[in-house]
Each structure stands twice: as C-alpha cells, then as structure tokens.
Copies of this chain bind each other. A is one copy, B any other.
Amino acid sequence: MANFADRLIKEIEKYQNPSSIGLDSDFERLPKFLRKKQVSQAIFLFNKAIIDSTFDIVPAYKIQIAFYEKYKLEGLKAFEKTISYLKDKKKIVIVDAKRGDIDHTAKAYSFSYLSPQGFDADAITLNPYLGRDSILPFLEDAKKYQKGIFILVKTSNPSSKEIQNQKLKNGKEVYRIVAKIVKEVGESTEGKFGYQIVGAVVGATFKKEMKILRKILPKNIFLVPGFQTQGGKAKDVILAFNKDKRGALINNSRGIIFAFENEDLKRKFGEKKFYLAARYSALKMKEELNSVLKKIS
C-alpha cells in the first residue's frame, strides 16, 4: 500500500471524479420494501445496491457511523459488512466518526478504525477541541498502516461560528489555530503528489473561510461535506481545489443515496430501483464538478 494521499489522488484521477458518496444510511429513510427486513440486513442491502451501482464512477465512500450506532449492534453489523464490501471493491473508505479523545482512549479509537485488526478503514474524521493529544495517536497509526486522518477545521453548519469563528487577540479566528495544528502535525507526511496524509474537513457553505484555508493549507486534502443538501454548490466548491486541480474530495450523502425521494427521479426509476437514482445523481455530480474544475487554470 502507498501513502494515503497518493492513493486517494490516484483513485480520484482514475475515475476523473473528486467526489465521495456518503453512506448516511438511516434505516428510517430506506425504501419501504427494504424496511420490511431486519435492520442490519436492510441497511447492508441498501448500501450494497448503492455501491454496486456507483463503484465504477466514484473513488471513495464516506460512512457516517452515527446512523449505524443508532441501531446498536444491529446497525454496527451493517457498518462492518459495508466496510468489508467496499474494501473488496478496492474503494477508499472514510469513516466519519469525529472522534476526539486523548491518551489510551484515543489509541483505542484509532485501533478500532484504522488498524487491520479493527474496522480497517482508510481514514477517519477527528474533532480537535482537545488539542493535538487527540490527534497524534491516530496519526501514529495512520503512518504505520498507510492511512489518513481528516481534522474538523471549519464545519458547514450555521452554529459552527460559535467557537470556530471566535476572533482571537491576534485578530485570527479559532479555526485558523486548528489549521495551524493540521499544518504542523501533517509535516513530512507528503506523498509523491505533494499532499499530506493529514487532511481538513472544511464545509462547502463558507466561501471566505474556504479561501483562507486553501491558502494556509496548500498540502492538505480537504474533505468537503455539505454539497447540495446543506446548500453547497459546485461553483462554490471550486475554492476547495488547488491550482493543480487537486486537493479536495467533495462529499454528497443524502443528495445521492436518497435521490430516489426526488419526485422526478422516483417517476423515472421507481423506489425499488433507488440505486439507479443514486447512480444518476452521482454522475450528475461528477459532471458538475468536472465542468467547474475546467475553470481552474
């Protein structure tokens, strides 16, 4: 296995698609015919159909673990099976867990998500509120197992400003302090494309912050949530990329996996073929992103 940043960029370029599909597969929102099944089976079958229908067009999948934890062991069984399935398909798997803890506890989480004896995902999202004590144990495993980490820097939700945009004495905002941590811990982890295995989560909804962060963090890959469902548009996410047209992975969760809820798509494909609505939407997103990427020169 190679450096995580290299792997991710290589896959993005292979599929000409800098996007990931977010498997926020809440049982309650699955097609009715699937909800007749047992929770674990329903969620896994849903994910499998989405994956089978999109793995030839997207390089990576992001799994929001909350929707699996919601159903306790049943849900987590589906979580585990989904990761295995994605790995069989040679896809890059990012677990969106936003963990943040220290010391032995951080090591335990890291073992769980990044180690080969654990769920063995390719990357995990982390919350920086506890400082680098909560980052370094994961980074150590990321180096050891050729994995990656994405640190929350500026999130896409309205109240993210409450802490992240507080202005410090020196005139800079809290999110810039976090960016500095990302920069420092990422040092010397570059792969051959020049990107580091420490990435940043930067919401698509705040243009100003995106611009600033892209400048401060030229070597870090941005995981950008909030495309479409949270109001982020293709023309906005262009700011997440560097001049080399690299450096960002744009995620869309509900806009793809629950595309079958859209009236037009429901008419076109039918609820039973929800996975075709997902493919349709994933292809549309790919097109949109590529047409925007063309404008980078």
Contacts and interface: CB of A to CB of B under 8 A. Distances in A.
A174 interface: yes
Contacts of A177: 162-163, 166
Contacts of A134: 157, 159
B132 A162 contact: yes
B102 A157 contact: yes
A116 interface: no
Interface in A163-216: 163-164, 166-169, 171, 174, 177-178, 181
A109 interface: yes
A24 B106 CA distance: 12
Given A100-B127, A105-B24, A127-B129, A112 B162 contact: no
A207 to B, nearest CB: 19
Nearest to A254: B104
Contacts of A76: 72-73, 76
Interface string A71-103: 111001100100000000000000000111111
Which applies to chain A's interface (DSSP): helix, strand, loop or mixed?
helix
A95 to B, nearest CB: 11
Size bracket, chain A contacts: 35 or more
B112 A163 contact: no
A62 to B, nearest CB: 12
Given A177-B163, A181-B162, A108 B157 contact: no
A66 B131 contact: no
A174 B166 contact: yes
Contacts of A128: 129, 163
A234 interface: no
B174 A159 contact: no
26 contacts: A24-B104, A24-B105, A64-B105, A66-B101, A66-B109, A67-B108, A69-B109, A70-B111, A72-B112, A72-B118, A72-B119, A100-B129, A102-B155, A127-B127, A129-B152, A130-B155, A130-B157, A130-B159, A130-B160, A130-B163, A130-B164, A131-B159, A131-B161, A163-B178, A166-B174, A168-B169
